[in-house]
Amino acid sequence: MNDQTPRRYRGTLLERAAAQFHYAPTGPVGPAAPAAPLSPPVAPAPKAQQPDPAYIRDGPALRRGAGEYEQASIAVPQQRDEGRRMVPIDRAALRAGGMIVPGGQITPLAEEFRMVKRQLLLTARAVAAKDTAKAADRARMVLVCSANPDEGKTFCAINLALSMAAEKDVEILLVDADFAKPDILERLGMPSGPGLLDALSGAVADVEDCIIDTDVPQLSVLPAGAKSVSDTELLASDRARAIL
């Protein structure tokens, strides 16, 4: 036997590897111990007692789907002035015109006008804080105008008035001073009647008789009234400044 004589190994490859790395046998493997018995099923916990609906406080924080416009529509109406007309606003006409609908769901349009309203109210309070008679008058009026016709003045004025009427501390008078194209009453689904031009011309002695109360609390409308050949002059008169 020399170095070139093939070696004969005893045992299998696994047995030789075990001997090389000192893996000692641990003896025969016995059967596994039986698993512990399962614990008896636990009875389900009793359901929490629901509070009586009569004691649930109904408020804006609990009614996610109801917004400020719904609250305004169900609020107790304030006492109306004697002699004024009271005409309900046609919700179907508002919906057909793509405007805010009092009592309806909050829409992206309502949220946009809510942001505009908030900035206007903050500006009005800042102007009123100057504590002068002129500042107080300026803080009470918002003029919606544009350089060209058909740019959405009436649309914005109506939606802004509806949004502002949802506030708790203000009363809104929507004045239609677009004498060339007066259509606020038509968009609100309300019948025509005397308005601002009639009060300016003297056809109506008291402008309060031209104001229309609506079924939306804190919102009233002053129509444009009957047209005349001197609409522009009437609007620029001292009587117009006194009335407004």
**pLDDT, greater one: 243 or 34:** 243
Amino acid at 20: Q
Confidence (pLDDT) at 56 = 33
Least confident segment among 6-20, 113-127, 170-184? 6-20
Residue range 124-174, pLDDT digits in tens: 989 888 877 777 788 889 999 998 988 999 999 999 999 999 998 889 999
**pLDDT, greater one: 45 or 172:** 172
Alpha carbon 207 to its chain centroid, in Å, reads 33
Query: Does any domain span residue 237?
Result: yes
Query: Does any domain span residue 38?
Result: no
CATH assignment of the domain containing 204: 3.40.50.300
Per the CB < 8 A criterion, the answer to whether 120 and 169 are in contact is no
Count structural domains, the chain.
1
Alpha carbon 219 to its chain centroid, in Å, reads 18
**179 to each of 61, 80, 155, 195, how far by Cα in Å?**
43, 27, 16, 11
Confidence (pLDDT) at 52 = 44
Domain that holds residue 207: 66-74+82-243
Per-residue pLDDT averaged across 181-204, rounded?
93
DSSP of 51-82, one letter per residue?
Answer: PPGGGS---TTT-TT--HHHHHHHSPPPPPPT
Per the CB < 8 A criterion, the answer to whether 181 and 173 are in contact is no
